[in-house]
Structure 1
Amino acid sequence: MRVTSAIAAFAPWRTVLREIVWATATGLVSLVAAAVTLGINATTLGQRWQTNIADDQAQHYLVAKAITDVPLLGPNDRMGFPTFQNLFFAPNYDPASAMFMIFESLFTHNGVLILNIYHLLGFFTVAFAGYFFFTALRVRRFIAIVFALVFALAPYHFQRVSFGHGFVANYWAVALVGILLLMVAGPKTNPFQGWIDTAETRGMRAWRRWLPIITLTLLVSLSLSYYFVFAAIILATVIAARVVITLVEREKLRTLLWPFVTVAALVLFVGVQLAILSLDFGDRYAQYFGERSAGESEVHAGKITTLVLPWVGTGFSSLGAITQRYLDGTTVSIYAEPPGTPIVAAGAMILIVIFILVRLMYSRTTVPPTALGRFIMDDRASVLAMAFLWGLLFYTVSGLGAIFSFVVSPEIRAWVRMSIVLIALALGFLAVLIDRVLTPLKFAVPVVAFLAIIAVVDQLGGVRTAIDLQPTDDADLRAFVSDAEQLLDDDCGVVQLPLHAYPAAGPVGIMSDYNQALPYILATDNSLRWSYGAVVGSISGDYWENVTTPAAFEAKIADSGACAIEVDTFAYPDDPTAWRDLVETVADPDDPAIVSTDADNRYLLFTVDPR
């Protein structure tokens, strides 16, 4: 009897273990497919990826490198000389990503390698989480696996890697938002309801009720701010709909308890995080990105046109050409990121619109006799379609996202990123449709296989053409920094010209924004202190502010105790005397101690006259 009870108690955990194995296998397939598609190998994994837009990529390498020096992302005195850099104030990373990269730093101090591995493993984590979202929809396993791969290998993912948006690219939290959506929609869609109902005691039922709520909301709250804001928007809408239905049907209000608890838990965890980030710790006095305006939400919102058109890197080149012609001719929202919709998801979005129109006209209340009729009445499909429509209203130009920006906060400005939520909802809808209508395997398997072939050609076929990682070993700059470390004493302060604010201050000349972080990122022994990187809006960030005259520069150099000046000549393509006038106050501008060996002799290092 005891043996039988033990086996029965172990059975659910054996099921969980089996699902974890399937999810892991799905993640590995996604990782390998991404690596092969992007041309990543052992060599390129250790090189700096410049991609199409190098600015943000350098910023993310900076975060990865800083984690190796300051594990908790506190004050980092290797940057922001003569004070420090404090990335804790800069919400350009999410806590979950920071914790993972802290784990990576236990094995290597190479910030470039840490971020590249993080990029690549993002394909694994998204597919892993995506598998659980699609299984939560209670579709057959082979359908869940294929759709999880379509989700993880979406053009959205490759494009964010190309833009250098490493933390935006790792959108595993969107899959968890899908599961939370099913939980708050009601017992019929809650994937944990059967597990809860089979509990033998009230205490066990309570434990099974709380565990998914706390686990999922905590994980989502630790993800990128865009994704937990999108989560709150989608979940609040579902609850609002449930409140109306409850009042209309005169159901008991206590049925709304757990949905409210779920959203409340998410808000609580997010609130605690934001409260901690709002502390000044004696240094910060202004909000990061406080200069964002509400009007930017329309500049960076999405369009339905690009949402349903193929991406420009699709393997169906003739279809991609149509999209490119549209992009070349449009003048609306031209600076917004592309939504990155797979063709399979775009088709599902069209089906959702048809589904909503049919439901508005469909008056039958009994269960229909046909599979298609039962799908039209399916609670999962209804919830996904409703959430999709609501998310679409925030995604689009001059939509609810603009109102949110004007009324609540302009910080979430790139509403086009809602596209990945819409993609997840659309794929979930299509997965339910196939599973519900094509019940016999002889119909379901060929259809899913056909969609998989379309996905492979569309999502992987043209990636190498559309996205070039441009890996570089930075040999010249690495040698320059290494020579500086050997020449200068430990803890020497190196003042970097131009005096450039951090973050998001924009390019100077032909020097990209964040480019001055590269000497620190590529440093061999971290023995030097670099002036770039103190956060704007903090006391530390004010030291070099408004130092525009040679006399002021000379005074600051003397006050700081700096021992060297590094000049990026790319910042002065039209007026090289601008840096010479400053350097001349403390060193001989015609006698650099080190000159980089690249063809342009881009970087110069001058030692400060000890007098």
Structure 2
Amino acid sequence: MKTTRQRDVSVHADVVGAVWAAALATVVAMWSLRVWEWRPGLPPSLLGDSPVVLTQIHQILYEGWFWSTQSVGFPIGQNASFFPELNVIHVLAVKAIGLFGGDAATVGAAYFFVGYPLVALTTYLLSRSERLSRPVSIVVAVLFAAAPYHAERFEHLWLASYWTVPLGLWVVLGVARGKNVFDCDRPRGRRILLTVLALALVGLSGAYYAGFIMILLAAALVLRAGQERPAGWWRGGLVSISGLAVVAALPLIAAKVGMSGTTLTGARPATRTVLESERYAGRVIDLFLPWEEHRLKPLAALTQAYRAAGRPVTETLALGVVGVAGSAALVLICLRALATGRPAPQRLRLWGALWLVTVAFYTVGGLGSVVALLATPQLRSWSRLSLVLLLLGLLAVGHWLSRPRSKLLARTLPVLALLVGFLDQTNPLLAPRYEDIASRLDGIRSYTGTLAAATGPQCGVLQLPVMRFPEGYLPEGYDANAQLLQHLTNRQLAWSHGGMSGTRAGDWLMGIELSNPSTLISGLRANGFCAVELDTAAVDSTLPDLTALTKLLGEPVARTSDGRLVAWSLPVAEGGTSSDRERLLSPVLVGLAAGGLRIDDQDVRQESGPWAGVTTSNLSGKDVAGIEVTVDVTALGADEREVVVQAGDTELGRVTAVRDRATPLTFMLNAPAGYQRLTVAVSGDPVRDSADRSVSAYFSNLRATGPETARVVSLHGQARTKLIYP
């Protein structure tokens, strides 16, 4: 038994080890991200979801939280409760950093950089709890912080902050070994506190990591069931799972409260489907292939060639050479134990069992798909479990690195593993191009300043093209969230993009009357708009509807130096009335729930399998009856197919669609206030298209007309303008 002095020395040594781990991880971050080139005011990225993250941070700093703002989604504003973030602990961390000053870009970058030492710190603590030596624990901690996954993830900042994963795995391992504090008759108070704290941090760190740890806790209970166990052995695991579920549910309850009183006018944003768990799951081979951006070009080329010929991958999944070595060893140990019955160290058997369970959820067509089918499809990106696989693989390597009794080997091997892992898992050539980011932001800042001076403060800006937020169809090659960048550079203006799809705040934009620019301008003025902006990277400036609008607006009042963003002020004389205001915000949108929109010079079309839907989004607040809908239907993969539109058990329309020729299908429907989806059934077995999708028919050129008292809009007609992407 250790004396008090020995315990004090041990604690002091672990503090020193944790500091070393955090310091080395900071050096890795500085090297990988070339932090010396960064300056305050610059985010590490402007691509992908980075503008969304920056917008959330902006709202946290200036508006207290990120669930409600009037500066985007103008004129109604954004209610982000409809796209709830469960990353409460990260939001609080950002809020704390913001107390020291700085804008959204500065604070976001700071938390991104700090994520490296935070991950190293929690991983070091996990490694020491697994009885790895201190030097080896430092190596494991630094390599986990330097996962290839990390440097690319600013656009998913909350996912990049995966320092809670080792805390969750610590609880999982305790449950699997029967050492969970809730199993004990006389649990130690300190361990109870640490377990509760770990569960709370994991539960408030986002849906993915909370969900993954919950699954692993259930797996640990199953593993525990196969061992010798005392009465009530299940108690600790069940209490841990329940506690984690309760904590993770708190932000969802808060979001539910935030949604109350707002009528849905479309499908809930970011509602996932079962098939997305197939699309965003991982493949085992992706774990073992080199990093796609490896500093050695031949290794990078190998992975790039494989992926170019196969299924697209949306995440960085590579484990790196050290993680692969540990993972392969765990799998081999498990297989040997099954085949020969030969014993292996208990912790290796446990890590190996958890690795195999994790990969069963991670892989395409695995248990993640079962969860999506039977429980919830919301955890679609099962490939993100690669982080857990990497951590288990690094722990396995740490086991063997901790074994040498020779002082020379005990010092040399960890340093060698750290050096190999560092070179393998990082590539400074991929560091953010801070000068390019600064140049782009400075150009936008100058542009928005000029626009604010020309229009005055508190001005609303209609942004073209119109796109759904947070997810929707986009112009080819266009960055989904680029329209949020303007909001980040000028707080005097308000911007139309950013209202939540599925609510009136976002859906009214789908119905703007581009074919009648005078009416549109009056409605905009009545709602507080005083400018229109065009992003020429997404739109051909010679489009007829755009030309007709800009002819009325005259010369632009602001333009970026590269000509990408152009803005016109609205005529002051077009003041608009209350009826103009309501007309603009109250369309009845008629569309199709089917495959992605395809737009060409002749048709707007959507492919469908055996089931599709006709949707109405009635923003007027009053039921609208007597809407006539016509859509052309063409059979795919069969000479004829019967197509039926139903509202419940009532048949609204039917047609026999034929191959290679469009057949019109006409029916009448009523649009209740809010959202409805009618069923469209296509007879016969579907066929596989060139993209390996099940298809039965395609629908084109949807038209809709209604009574004079309502403004009924076809989303196909809106898409034809190439200025609106429904």
TM-score, normalising length: structure 2 = 0.72
Distance 1:184 1:430, change over 3 A: same
Alpha-carbon contact 1:289-1:411 (below 8 Å) kept: no
Q: Distance in 2 between matches of 1:418 and 1:601?
A: 39
Q: Distance in 2 between matches of 1:456 and 1:206?
A: 39
- The structure in which a higher percent of residues are helix is 1
Corresponding position of 2:173: 182
Alpha-carbon contact 2:175-2:221 (below 8 Å) kept: yes
Say which of 503, 527, 530 aligns to 2:470: 503
Distance 1:509 1:483, change over 3 A: farther
Which runs of structure 2 are paired with 1:48-87 in the superposition (5 Å)?
Answer: 48-50=43-45, 54-87=47-80
- CA drift at 1:120: 1.3
Distance 1:565 1:323, change over 3 A: closer
Structure 1: gaps of 5 or more residues: 1-6, 365-375
Q: Deviations along 1:524-551, whole A, 9 cap, x unmatched?
A: xx12222211111233223323224344
Corresponding position of 1:491: 458
Which runs of structure 2 are paired with 1:469-488 in the superposition (5 Å)?
Answer: 470-473=436-439, 474-488=441-455
Say which of 451, 455, 458 aligns to 2:417: 451
Q: Distance in 2 between matches of 1:93 and 1:49?
A: 23
Question: Is 2:365 the counterpart of 1:398?
Answer: yes
Quick one: which amino acid aligns to residue 523 of structure 2?
K
Quick one: which amino acid aligns to residue 281 of structure 1?
S
Distance 1:505 1:223, change over 3 A: same
Give the fraction of aligned pairs with identical amino acids, expressed as a percent: 24
Corresponding position of 1:418: 385
- CA drift at 1:485: 2.4
Q: Distance in 1 between matches of 2:285 and 2:549?
A: 51
Question: Is 2:260 the counterpart of 1:281?
Answer: yes
- CA drift at 1:232: 0.8
Distance 1:416 1:235, change over 3 A: same
- CA drift at 1:109: 4.7
Question: Is 2:71 the counterpart of 1:104?
Answer: no
Matched positions, count: 566
Corresponding position of 1:210: 192
Q: Deviations along 1:264-292, whole A, 9 cap, x unmatched?
A: 21112112232222331323637754442
- The structure in which a higher percent of residues are strand is 2
Q: Deviations along 1:322-376, whole A, 9 cap, x unmatched?
A: 3233223x32x31332303121001111101110012224446xxxxxxxxxxx5
Corresponding position of 1:294: 274
Bigger relative contact order, structure 1 or 2 (CA pairs below 8 A, ≥6 apart): 1
- CA drift at 1:415: 1.2
Quick one: which amino acid aligns to residue 249 of structure 2?
G
Which runs of structure 2 are paired with 1:283-432 in the superposition (5 Å)?
Answer: 283=262, 285=264, 288-328=268-308, 330-331=309-310, 333-363=311-341, 376-432=343-399
Q: Distance in 1 between matches of 2:108 and 2:86?
A: 12
Q: Distance in 2 between matches of 1:607 and 1:223?
A: 44
Distance 1:572 1:290, change over 3 A: closer
User: How large is the RMSD of aligned CA atoms in angstroms?
Assistant: 2.8
| Rg larger for | 2
Alpha-carbon contact 1:213-1:265 (below 8 Å) kept: no
Say which of 132, 136, 148 aligns to 1:155: 148
Distance 1:509 1:431, change over 3 A: closer
Q: Deviations along 1:183-226, whole A, 9 cap, x unmatched?
A: 112256x6x89xx99xxxx87x4523421221010000111211
Alpha-carbon contact 1:497-1:579 (below 8 Å) kept: no
Corresponding position of 1:373: none
Question: Is 2:222 the counterpart of 1:240?
Answer: yes
Alpha-carbon contact 2:269-2:500 (below 8 Å) kept: no
Distance 1:63 1:93, change over 3 A: farther
Say which of 400, 403, 407 aligns to 1:441: 407
Q: Distance in 1 between matches of 2:108 and 2:417?
A: 32
Quick one: which amino acid aligns to residue 101 of structure 1?
V
- CA drift at 1:93: 6.4
Question: Is 2:509 the counterpart of 1:544?
Answer: yes
Corresponding position of 1:556: 523
Say which of 563, 582, 593 aligns to 1:600: 563
Corresponding position of 2:24: 29
Quick one: which amino acid aligns to residue 420 of structure 2?
I
- CA drift at 1:126: 1.1
Q: Deviations along 1:287-315, whole A, 9 cap, x unmatched?
A: 75444221121121111111112112334
TM-score, normalising length: structure 1 = 0.85
Q: Distance in 2 between matches of 1:483 and 1:133?
A: 53
Corresponding position of 2:36: 41
- CA drift at 1:148: 0.5
Q: Distance in 2 between matches of 1:74 and 1:498?
A: 25
Corresponding position of 1:609: 572
Structure 2: gaps of 5 or more residues: 575-726
Q: Distance in 1 between matches of 2:431 and 2:269?
A: 31
Q: Partner of 2:461: helix, strand, or coil?
A: strand
Quick one: which amino acid aligns to residue 356 of structure 1?
C
Alpha-carbon contact 1:173-1:220 (below 8 Å) kept: yes
Q: Distance in 2 between matches of 1:254 and 1:36?
A: 50
Corresponding position of 2:532: 565
Say which of 156, 164, 167 aligns to 1:165: 156
Alpha-carbon contact 2:467-2:473 (below 8 Å) kept: no
Question: Is 2:591 the counterpart of 1:591?
Answer: no
Deviates more, 1:115-124 or 1:544-553: 544-553
Q: Distance in 2 between matches of 1:323 and 1:315?
A: 13
Deviates more, 1:62-71 or 1:575-584: 575-584
Alpha-carbon contact 2:49-2:481 (below 8 Å) kept: yes
Say which of 241, 248, 252 aligns to 2:230: 252
Q: Distance in 2 between matches of 1:104 and 1:260?
A: 36
Deviates more, 1:486-495 or 1:285-294: 285-294
Quick one: which amino acid aligns to residue 432 of structure 1?
H
